[in-house]
Amino acid sequence: AQSVSQHNHHVILSEAASLELGCNYSYGGTVNLFWYVQYPGQHLQLLLKYFSGDPLVKGIKGFEAEFIKSKFSFNLRKPSVQWSDTAEYFCASSTGNNRKLIWGLGTSLAVNP
Amino acid sequence: DGGITQSPKYLFRKEGQNVTLSCEQNLNHDAMYWYRQDPGQGLRLIYYSQIVNDFQKGDIAEGYSVSREKKESFPLTVTSAQKNPTAFYLCASSPGGADTQYFGPGTRLTVL
Full pLDDT tens readout for chain A, 113 residues: 789 999 889 999 999 999 999 999 998 788 999 999 999 989 899 999 999 999 999 999 999 999 999 999 999 999 999 999 999 999 999 887 677 899 999 999 999 99
Kindly report the backbone phi and psi dihedral angles of residue A89, in degrees, each rounded to the nearest multiple of 5, phi listed first: -120, 130
Contacts of A49 in chain B (CB under 8 A): 100
Count the neighbouring beta carbons within 10 Å of the beta carbon of residue A27: 17
Kindly report the backbone phi and psi dihedral angles of residue A96, in degrees, each rounded to the nearest multiple of 5, phi listed first: 55, -125
Q: Among all residues of chain A, which has the CA nearest to that of B47?
A: A100
B50 part of contact set with chain A, CB < 8 Å: yes
Give A42-68 pLDDT, tens digit per residue.
989 999 999 999 999 999 999 999 999
Q: How deeply is B89 buried, as exposed, middle or buried, from its count of CB atoms within 10 A (0-12, 13-18, 19+)?
A: buried
Give B50-68 pLDDT, tens digit per residue.
999 999 999 999 999 999 9
Contact between residue B88 and residue B106 where contact means Cβ atoms under 8 Å apart: yes
B39 part of contact set with chain A, CB < 8 Å: no
Question: What is the Cα–Cα distance from A89 to A9, expressed in whole angstroms?
Answer: 10
The residue among A3, A27, A44 with the most chain B CBs within 10 A of its CB, best to mutate, is A44
Give the minimum alpha-carbon distance from B81 to chain A in angstroms, rounded to a whole number: 25
* HEC assignment per residue over chain A: CCCEEECCCEEEEECCCCEEECEEECCCCCEEEEEEEECCCCCEEEEEEECCCCCEEECHHHCEEEEEHHHCEEEEEECCCCHHHCEEEEEEEEECCCCCCEECCCEEEEEEC
Give the minimum alpha-carbon distance from B80 to chain A in angstroms, rounded to a whole number: 27
B104 part of contact set with chain A, CB < 8 Å: yes
Q: Which of A9, A44, A98 sits opposite B103 (nearest CB)?
A: A44
